[in-house]
Amino acid sequence: MNTYAENLFDENDKISLGHLFVEGQVDTRHGPILYMEDVSVSFDGFKALNKLSLYIDAGELRCLIGPNGAGKTTLMDVITGKTRPDTGSVFFGQTIDLLQMDEPAIAQAGICRKFQKPSVFDALTVFENLELALKADKRTWPTLFFRLTGEQRDRINHILETVGLSALQQARAGILSHGQKQWLEIGMLLMQEPKVMLVDEPIAGMTHQEIERTAELLVSLQGQQSIVVVEHDMEFVRSIARKVTVLHEGSVLTEGTMDEVQNDPRVIQVYLGG
């Protein structure tokens, strides 16, 4: 039993702990939707994560910052099942033990990840990319006879509007600008109806206007799902984050508002070059 869960559950509740998952349900009655406790990961003697603890609330937009090698990528790898920690606990809600699940099962449970480089299907239209990303039965036989329902078409149109690509829905994804491809991929993740989105350096290579639009998009999504953004651009982080977590040498150095972390002497020393 991990420490956080031990404090939250009575004896009857504890029998439900493990990797129990009921589709569409994540138990956040007692607090965070995602938490990591005392997580350590070593690679050939180097500690990428060192007894790291992190708590993300339902509907929260959180930014993670830190110098190269601070552990940001490894943290996301652990959450999504790509990397197994040496020690620690990682829970999705109060009953879903992510360390007992593989990458596809974690994605199916409602945790999705967007990498820095957009991964869209250039030869397909914007609409077709979103249709392909629908949360549906992907087995061969159902796919052969698949037809969009009115509800599914409405959802695609809603996502198109959300990411600002309605006017380009019949355009080939390959002709989109870099920023538009990033928004399309965010739309494809939204088609999966995620509860937690992990977004890695979303504004790399964007124009100023695209950066502003990306900030507006991410802020508009908070509350609907939890969003964890890894980013190096401090101006962008300030524009979207109410709470910032600073990583250093595989651990959480400090957390708070952007003003609080920027004025923290430890952050100035290890990250901001003071």
What pLDDT, in 10s, does the model give residues 47-104? 999 999 999 999 999 999 999 889 999 999 999 999 999 999 999 998 899 999 999 9
**196, 202, 190, 177: which is closest to 117 by C-alpha?**
202
* Cα distance between residue 127 and residue 134, in whole Å: 11
Query: How many domains would you assign to the chain?
Result: 1
Domain coverage including residue 214: 3-270
> pLDDT digit string (tens) for 137-162?
444 444 544 678 889 999 999 999 99
119-133, 145-159, 214-228, 253-267: the lowest-pLDDT one: 145-159
* Cα distance between residue 206 and residue 259, in whole Å: 25
Rounded alpha-carbon distances, angstroms, from residue 63 to 3, 43, 239: 25, 25, 11
Q: For residue 17, what pLDDT band results from cuts at 50, 70 and 90?
A: very low
> pLDDT digit string (tens) for 243-255?
999 999 999 999 9
Q: Where are the beta strands (DSSP E) in 25-94?
A: 34-43, 46-56, 61-65, 87-92
Query: Taking the chain, what is the end-to-end CA distance rounded to the nearest angstrom?
Result: 41
Residue 26: the pLDDT is 77
CA contacts within 13 A on the Cβ side of 21:
17
274 pLDDT above the threshold of 90: no
Read off the CATH number of the domain in which 231 is found.
3.40.50.300
